[in-house]
């Protein structure tokens, strides 16, 4: 059935390190793809999105490319900062009702 899978966490990096968070999905058709971020004590915020194959979403130095061949939407950032410490959720609308379905989320901790 339709699903979204994120890599297991947590992830701890040093400041200025390169970040990759994997996300793959199984879905009918070509849904829009989203990354949401949740900072400590806050709700979720849309980080970036892509609406069709080969689209690249970008925001705050983060990027993700919609890869239909591999059904993936991996999140990357070239140089992370302490302020990027948060939980990151991959999400897409799935199922007959196009319900926004989240991956399990991954906690990123960036140390100075």
By CB under 8 A, which span of 11-19, 58-66, 75-83, 94-102 interacts with other proteins?
A: 94-102
* Burial class of residue 47 (count of CB atoms within 10 Å of its CB; 0-12, 13-18, 19+): buried
Q: Which is nearer to other proteins, 4 or 19 (CB)?
A: 4
| Residue 20 interacting with other proteins (CB under 8 A) | no
Q: Cβ–Cβ contacts within 10 Å for residue 67, how many?
A: 15
Do 34 and 66 form a contact (C-beta atoms < 8 A)?
A: no
- Contacting residues toward other proteins, per CB under 8 A: 31-32, 34, 36, 41-46, 49, 89, 93, 97-100, 102-105, 107
């Amino acid at each position: 059935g339709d699903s979204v899978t994120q890599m297991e966490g947590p992830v701890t990096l040093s400041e200025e390190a390169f970040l990759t968070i994997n996300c793959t999905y199984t879905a009918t058709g070509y849904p829009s793809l989203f990354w949401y971020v949740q900072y400590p004590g806050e709700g979720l915020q849309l980080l970036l999105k892509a609406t069709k194959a080969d689209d690249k979403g970008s925001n705050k130095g983060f990027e993700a490319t919609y890869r239909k061949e591999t059904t993936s939407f991996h999140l990357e950032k070239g140089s992370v900062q302490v302020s990027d410490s948060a939980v990151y959720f991959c999400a897409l609308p799935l199922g007959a009702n196009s319900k926004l379905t989240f991956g399990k989320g991954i906690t990123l901790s960036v140390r100075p």
